[in-house]
Structure 1
Amino acid sequence: MATKKQIKAKHQLFALLGAILVVVLVVAGISIYRNVKASKEETVTVGLVGNSDDAEWRDVQAQLDREHANIRLKYKTFQDGIYANQALANHELDITAFQHYAYLHQEEKEKGYKFTPIGETYISPLNLYSQKYKRVKDFKAGDKVAIPNNATNLGRALKVLDSAGLITLKDNTKADPTTDDIASNPSGIDIELNDPASIINLLPDYAGGITNTNFIVDAGKKPEDAIYAPKLKPDDASFKPYVNIIVANTNDKDSRTFRKIVDAYHTQAVAKQLIKDHNIPMFKY
């Protein structure tokens, strides 16, 4: 016959086993919940150029999480948009967020891509920077100025030089002017075409340079560091070609998941971040 001490020991053992069982069930339940949640979560790979928009996309993910959208954004960064578009065409990416309408149309024309814009983001300023001068009027004849060598940003950079009074274009409303469209060069500057990503590093050897803001931010500088910046006018139709866009393969343009991502981008948190990081307004599509 069991003694009171033995009975008590058995009760303690059963209690301990019961507690262990509860812990095991809780852990198993959490594991099952996480696995079920993970199985429902959809991963979307976003192609970016540089890291200047990292903060904005963190805000997009935060908004999706608040909405319990079960969408996980995965980012793939490129140094050149050419390769990002190739990856999108090959379905290595789901969407991209780096290019403006003009660049997209040029890429489609040259390479036959079947892409569709699914949302607008912002206009990335294309400004004139210099480590040598503080004012545009300081430029002298023979000074070298670097501008992008791709067709769309080359034309836009020439419009910046025209706006600054360093050159005069035959028609400054032309969509994509080239150096052949320069009517006069009163400043006498030498315009040299370079890879956009390299221009920021050329400034010590050049009198000035014009390049995309993402490269400026990635180099630790700010758009406000420019010595000349054309005023952006969101309601001006002439700026429309330079509005940056979120792009998908045309077959995927109606994806509900992508629409949720675009809507998450078009929130106040992202708008505030754009003002903070780039001092630029958001656009919507």
Structure 2
Amino acid sequence: MATRSRNKAKRTLIIVLVAVIVVVAAIAGTFIYQNSRSSGETVVRLGLVGNSEENIWDAVQQQLDNEHANIKLEYKTFQDGIPANQALSNGDLDITAFQHYAFLNQEIKDKGYKFTVIGETFLSPLNLYSDKYKSVKDFKPGDKVAIPNNATNLGRALKVLDSAGLITLKDNTTANPTTDDIASNPSGIVIVPNDAPSIVSLLPDYAGGIVNTNFITDAGKSPEDALYAPLVKAGDKTFQPYINVIVANTDQKDNPTFKKIVDAYHTKPVAVQVEKDHNIPVFKY
């Protein structure tokens, strides 16, 4: 009985100690947060899609720290850009950095968002990948190729297929072509629109897929694995709609804190990180 009582007492003591540790940790976390706020640090909630750009924004944070800007970037990660824009509009985010002009403009048109671009970042390649083939010449009639199903990336993906010679568009300068704009399909491929984040997982079953660079890197792959990559030039006006941007609510477009963040982004160390992540900087530094 004595042994049983001692064991019970030990278990009770362990439970109490664990509870104390949890309470102390919570108090410490609250203290750190309150201390950072009281010291004048400004927390900016940044909306991202996936984790691929965190290295870039870590470099931005380092620049802000070097400048003693007293600004803390707090990442909020989403699986898709649509809820990220909703969060920005609702005030749950301060800025976002995941979308290009074409996607942003379509969102504004469809939903009436009051958003303003406060800075440009980079061009991200949109390439054709395949686990099955080594050349675009290997595609056969009936092969399924997945492309993003949102309007802007669908149009851009069709331009990639046109550039690769798998299809021919009636006019490849159209901003957002649809499948109705396909003039011919000499390869005989079957184009299947899918949610952009899911396309990487479809590659084992499909003949190919056109995937955003951030989803490729999030999946542990490299843009260098692309079966076909169209030549991307930052200064080429045809790529202007696909420049990624930092976005704020219009009533906050002149926020001085946000300007400091954009200025920190437009620096050489950040440009170096952008290039390491297989993107093309479009800003001067």
Provide TM-score, normalisation by structure 2. 0.86
Is 1:284 the counterpart of 2:283? The answer is: yes
Give the letter aligned to residue 283 of structure 1.
V
1:191 matched residue in structure 2: 191
1:10 matched residue in structure 2: none
Equivalences for residues 1-285 of structure 1 within 5 A: 35=35, 38-278=38-278, 280-284=279-283
Alpha-carbon distance in 1 for matches of 2:153, 2:264: 29
Pair 1:35–1:150, CA change in 2 (3 A) = closer
Alpha-carbon distance in 2 for matches of 1:171, 1:35: 58
* 1:202-251 superposed Cα distances (whole Å, 9 cap, x missing partner): 00000000021110010001111101000001111110000000000000
Alpha-carbon distance in 2 for matches of 1:235, 1:64: 28
Q: Secondary structure at the match of 2:204?
A: helix
Q: Secondary structure at the match of 1:118?
A: strand
CA RMSD of aligned residues (A): 1.4
Alpha-carbon distance in 2 for matches of 1:104, 1:240: 13
Give the letter aligned to residue 204 of structure 2.
P
* 1:30-61 superposed Cα distances (whole Å, 9 cap, x missing partner): x9xx9487431100000000000111111111
2:17 matched residue in structure 1: none
Provide TM-score, normalisation by structure 1. 0.86
Alpha-carbon distance in 2 for matches of 1:181, 1:137: 23
* 1:77-103 superposed Cα distances (whole Å, 9 cap, x missing partner): 000000000000001000000000000
- The answer on whether the counterparts of 2:127 and 2:210 sit within 8 Å (CA) in structure 1 is yes
Pair 1:171–1:86, CA change in 2 (3 A) = same
Pair 1:113–1:170, CA change in 2 (3 A) = same
Give the letter aligned to residue 247 of structure 2.
V
- The answer on whether the counterparts of 2:122 and 2:280 sit within 8 Å (CA) in structure 1 is yes
Alpha-carbon distance in 1 for matches of 2:59, 2:138: 41
Deviation at 1:281, TM superposition (A): 2.1
Alpha-carbon distance in 2 for matches of 1:35, 1:281: 38
Alpha-carbon distance in 2 for matches of 1:281, 1:41: 31
Deviation at 1:165, TM superposition (A): 0.1
Deviation at 1:109, TM superposition (A): 0.4
- The answer on whether the counterparts of 2:234 and 2:281 sit within 8 Å (CA) in structure 1 is no
Alpha-carbon distance in 1 for matches of 2:235, 2:265: 20
Give the letter aligned to residue 87 of structure 1.
A
- The answer on whether the counterparts of 2:200 and 2:219 sit within 8 Å (CA) in structure 1 is yes
Alpha-carbon distance in 1 for matches of 2:133, 2:96: 36
Whose Rg is larger?
Answer: 1
Unaligned runs of 5+ in 1: 1-30
Alpha-carbon distance in 1 for matches of 2:131, 2:52: 21
Residue correspondences, number = 252
Alpha-carbon distance in 1 for matches of 2:85, 2:38: 29
Alpha-carbon distance in 2 for matches of 1:73, 1:104: 22
Alpha-carbon distance in 1 for matches of 2:249, 2:154: 26
Give the letter aligned to residue 147 of structure 1.
I
